[in-house]
């Protein structure tokens, strides 16, 4: 795609944020169908992946990342996009056990049955871990609340109640293949929760999201995020906005809070980390993709933004293979 064609597409967009998020995806890593007899309390420690919970069969309680107890009803679905520590329990105040301390039996790929030995009334849960295809430091993830509840967003998303109803049927009937079906439904429901949040306010719509939706700057931010490997000069970015270089630079810094060059470098280094960790690319390949003359110059820029040399992330990716 040439610069002009991508520029024309961005200029034609009514909402650059929507364009930037068209490829947003959550991929389930593992899921558990939990059938727990009272009393029970499960500790979910902090993790890099998002957490997802669906409550079926009987209500329970959540000790939220904000350190308060919240009652959950049957049919509630929660997404904790940054995987903050929390507890699910049959009643407030029970001493929690890590999920690994419960009986965990594999059902199919990435799906497990979780149970305990208590004989009280049973609660059905479907819990999972998910990875975003966005870098963990993406501004959108930083702006998301600690927790999103499906019912709070369902008014503006007519598909959510149908997904909740389908999940309820699968989790309570426990039919053949229900684990795999539940996992796919959970992926779709989590993405629907995020889409509804983005399309209907994103909270108070301040900060980065407000900048993306700014009529002048939004097209520029969308262009940077959609094509981070392009050599974005100030003149090229000013052309996307349709302004002179000086007017563009001043407007961008006022709205975004940093210079265009600094923002472009930050986005490019976050993309580089994705290529190193997710795609297992070599440092030299990433440096070439981003147009650096040498691995050394790329490594210096990467460490300046990320605080750690790219070889550290590459080594971690190799160790995980």
What CA–CA distance (Å, rounded) separates 306 from 159?
Answer: 39
Q: How many residues does the chain have?
A: 321
Question: Tokens standing for 148?
Answer: 């999103």
The answer to whether 79 and 148 are in contact (CB under 8 A) is yes
Query: Based on the domain organization, do 190 and 49 belong to the same domain?
Result: yes
Last residue of one domain, picked from the residues 147, 182, 199:
199
pLDDT at 93: 94
Measured CA angle at 116 (ends 110, 121), to 5 deg:
115
pLDDT at 201: 61
- Phi and psi at residue 246, to the nearest 5°: -70, -40
pLDDT at 319: 64
Domain assignment present for 5: no
Give which of 255, 257, 227, 223 is closest to 239, Cα–Cα. Answer: 223
Query: Based on the domain organization, do 167 and 277 belong to the same domain?
Result: no
Give the DSSP H/E element, type plus range, for residue 42: strand 41-44
What CA–CA distance (Å, rounded) separates 48 from 58?
Answer: 29
Query: Based on the domain organization, do 188 and 104 belong to the same domain?
Result: yes
Last residue of one domain, picked from the residues 199, 219, 237:
199
Domain assignment present for 31: yes
Residues of the chain short of pLDDT 70, as ranges, are: 1-14, 201-206, 316-321
pLDDT at 2: 36
Domain assignment present for 259: yes
Query: Based on the domain organization, do 66 and 153 belong to the same domain?
Result: yes
Overall domain count for the chain? 2
The model scores a pTM over 0.95? no
| Alpha helices for the chain (secondary structure H) | 3-12, 16-21, 139-143, 150-153, 159-173, 178-199, 208-212, 218-226, 234-241, 245-256, 260-277, 283-289, 295-306, 310-320
- Structural domain range at position 149: 25-199
Last residue of one domain, picked from the residues 199, 219, 238:
199
The answer to whether 77 and 128 are in contact (CB under 8 A) is no
What CA–CA distance (Å, rounded) separates 198 from 18?
Answer: 8
Query: Based on the domain organization, do 130 and 258 belong to the same domain?
Result: no
Could you tell me the CATH number of the domain that includes residue 99? 2.60.120
Query: Based on the domain organization, do 82 and 136 belong to the same domain?
Result: yes
Query: Based on the domain organization, do 126 and 266 belong to the same domain?
Result: no
91-120 tens-digit pLDDT: 999 999 998 889 988 888 788 889 998 889
Query: Based on the domain organization, do 105 and 249 belong to the same domain?
Result: no
């Amino acid at each position: 795609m040439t610069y002009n064609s991508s520029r024309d597409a961005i200029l034609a967009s009514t909402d650059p944020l929507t364009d930037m998020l068209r490829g947003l995806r959550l991929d389930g890593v593992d899921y558990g169908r939990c059938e727990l007899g009272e009393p029970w309390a499960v500790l979910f420690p902090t993790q890099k992946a998002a957490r997802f919970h669906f409550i079926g069969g009987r209500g329970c309680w959540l000790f939220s990342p904000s350190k308060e107890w919240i009652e959950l009803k049957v049919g509630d679905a929660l997404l904790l996009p940054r995987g903050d520590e929390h507890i699910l329990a049959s009643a407030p105040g029970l001493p929690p056990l890590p999920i690994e301390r419960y009986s965990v039996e594999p059902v199919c790929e990435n799906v497990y049955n979780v149970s305990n030995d208590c004989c009280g009334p049973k609660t059905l849960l479907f819990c999972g871990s998910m990875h975003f295809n966005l870098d963990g430091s993406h501004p959108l993830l930083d702006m998301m609340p600690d927790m999103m509840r499906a019912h709070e967003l369902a008014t503006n998303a007519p598909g959510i109640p149908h997904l909740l109803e389908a999940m309820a049927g699968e989790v309570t009937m426990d039919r053949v293949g229900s684990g795999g079906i539940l996992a796919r439904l959970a992926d779709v429901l989590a993405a629907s929760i995020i889409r509804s949040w983005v399309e209907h306010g994103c909270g108070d719509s301040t900060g980065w999201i407000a900048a993306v939706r700014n009529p002048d700057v939004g097209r520029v931010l969308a262009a940077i995020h959609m094509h981070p490997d392009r050599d974005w000069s100030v003149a090229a970015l000013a052309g996307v906005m349709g302004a002179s270089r000086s007017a563009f630079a001043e407007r961008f810094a006022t709205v975004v809070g940093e210079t265009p060059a600094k923002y472009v470098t930050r986005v490019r280094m976050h993309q580089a980390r994705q290529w190193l960790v997710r795609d297992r690319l070599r440092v030299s390949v990433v440096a070439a993709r981003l147009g650096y003359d040498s691995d050394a110059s790329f490594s210096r820029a990467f460490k300046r933004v990320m605080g750690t040399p790219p070889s550290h992330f590459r080594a971690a990716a190799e160790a995980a293979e």
